[in-house]
Amino acid sequence: MGTYAVTGSASGMGAASAETLAAAGHTVIGVDLHDADIIADLGTAGGREQAAEEILTRCGGTLDGVAAIAGVGPNLPDAAAVMSINYFGPVRLLELLRPALAAADAGRAVAIGSNAATTVPLIDDRLVELALAGEEEAAREHARAAAAAMPAELRELAPSISAYASSKFALARWIRRTAVTPEWARQGVLLNAIAPGAVLTPLMLGSTGEAGDPDRFPTPMPLGVFGEPADIAFWVHQFLKREARFTTGAILYVDGGTDAAMRPDGTPTAMSLG
């Protein structure tokens, strides 16, 4: 049995993932703002350092896996906080915990992205560039300015929608780039992401209110049902298993077919020789 850190463990997909891992006999170190083994704010630099230090103390410097699940939705009024929590939080925590994952026989890490990265036409390229460059303060300033410049009706509906989609897009890019570097791949540490769609979590309901009829949802729901936190927890568990030894840099859509319905030819994309 192994030891796994799960962020966002107090509710939603994080709680479901922690429960799934514990039910499989693993030791789970939960991290959240409340009701967790480690209370830390991953939206701040100090909170990330604190969380990593406490995780390393509890696991003795060897960690079998990390599930970076903590996040906020597009309904959060502060777009800067969305960037810090959704992108800089998981990226820095995973960087700090990488040596402990490398010390395990089969270190595994999985982060929660979103299908919003590919289905929301509001990706801010400059914001993505700043995130990937590690420029947190500049990204925060840009996110706030861009949100303030959005049409009033869009700000009222989802004040941080562009920052949300852009943070998840940047996270997916970081995972693809990072997973294949020697520091991760040649150390045997696998790094993947899950891109959920409409899953009935406090985050989703906080953004949309009542879930309502899936067939009347703003984006296509081919299966005609919303996801449940357990649907994401299942795949978190699969990615963290020792047996998942030949998959890294993957982005798995767990969205009931929404991305496929909206972008049937988006993936695969042929490599260009030009």
Residues designated as active site: 164
* Residue 31 φ then ψ, to 5°: -130, 130
Strand order across the 3-7 sheet: 38-39, 27-32, 3-7, 65-68, 108-112, 190-196, 251-254
Packing angle, helices 125-132 and 161-179, rounded to 10: 40
**Beta bridge pairs of residue 65:** 4, 108
**Rg (alpha carbons) of the chain, rounded to whole number:** 18
Select from 167, 168, 164, 191 the least CA-distant residue to 180: 191
**Beta carbons within 10 angstroms of residue 147's beta carbon:** 22
How far apart (Å, rounded) are the C-alpha atoms in residues 142 and 91? 19
Yes or no: say if 4 and 240 are a contact pair by the CB < 8 Å rule. Answer: yes
